Amino acid sequence: MKTILAKLFGNPYRKQIVFEIEDELHFHIEMLERKYVQDGMSAAAAKAAALRRFGSLEKAMKQCVDIRSRNSLRRRVLKASLIILGLIGLSIRILSTERNLDHMGDLLIMIAIAGRLLLYVRGLSPSTFLSGTDETCPSIVTPRDNSKLRGA
């Protein structure tokens, strides 16, 4: 049942999105490792330092996948199509004089609203409601020793 639902409502491009993001984040970590090795660290120490500096890979990955999925071209096209469908339905409802056509307009409006709601619900992520995951307010690290600041 779960598999059927996943096939029906799942995003077929999600795997590709995940792969691309994973590749990008791993590239960053590889570059950090390279830099630390050049600075004289052993391979193991460089890997550990790179992962430490990067922060939570899992959290970054999840946030990126959420953002990408929400803003994918497919999703935007779907949203636009639903709006157009709703507008066509509304136009039919306003302009038609026949009862059958009225029903057709109602049906189109309902499909558009239901589709939009489904997209909205699918786009919701628990991370949206969790405190401490404010994406627009990331952390910075400043040295506790303020001598540099005073010198500046």
Partner 1 sequence: MANERTDLLQGTLELLILNTLARGPMHGYGIVQRIHEAAEDLLKVEDGSLYPALYRMEARGWIKSEYGVSENNRRARFYKLTRKGQTKLEAERANWNRVSKAVTRILQAT
Confirm or reject binding of residue 34 to partner 1 (CB under 8 A): yes
Q: Which stretch binds partner 1 (CB under 8 A): 41-49, 53-61, 90-98, 99-107?
A: 53-61
Q: Does 63 bind partner 1 (CB under 8 A)?
A: yes
Q: How far apart are CA 121 and CA 33, in angstroms?
A: 40
Q: With CB under 8 A as the contact rule, which of the stretches 7-15, 59-67, 77-85, 93-101 interacts with partner 1? A: 59-67
Q: CB 44 → partner 1: shortest distance, Å?
A: 19
Residues 35, 38, 39, 44, CA torsion sign = positive
Residue 136 binds partner 1 (CB under 8 A): yes
The answer to whether 127 and 133 are in contact (CB under 8 A) is yes
- Asked whether the beta carbons of 69 and 11 are under 8 A apart, the reply is yes
Closest CA to 21 of 49, 58, 75: 58
Q: Does 70 bind partner 1 (CB under 8 A)?
A: yes
CA–CA distance, 103 with 133 (Å, rounded to integer):
45
Q: Is 37 in the site for partner 1 (CB under 8 A)?
A: no
Contact residues toward partner 1 (CB under 8 A) are 20-21, 23-25, 27-28, 30-32, 34, 53-57, 59-60, 63-64, 67-68, 70-71, 135-145, 148-149, 152
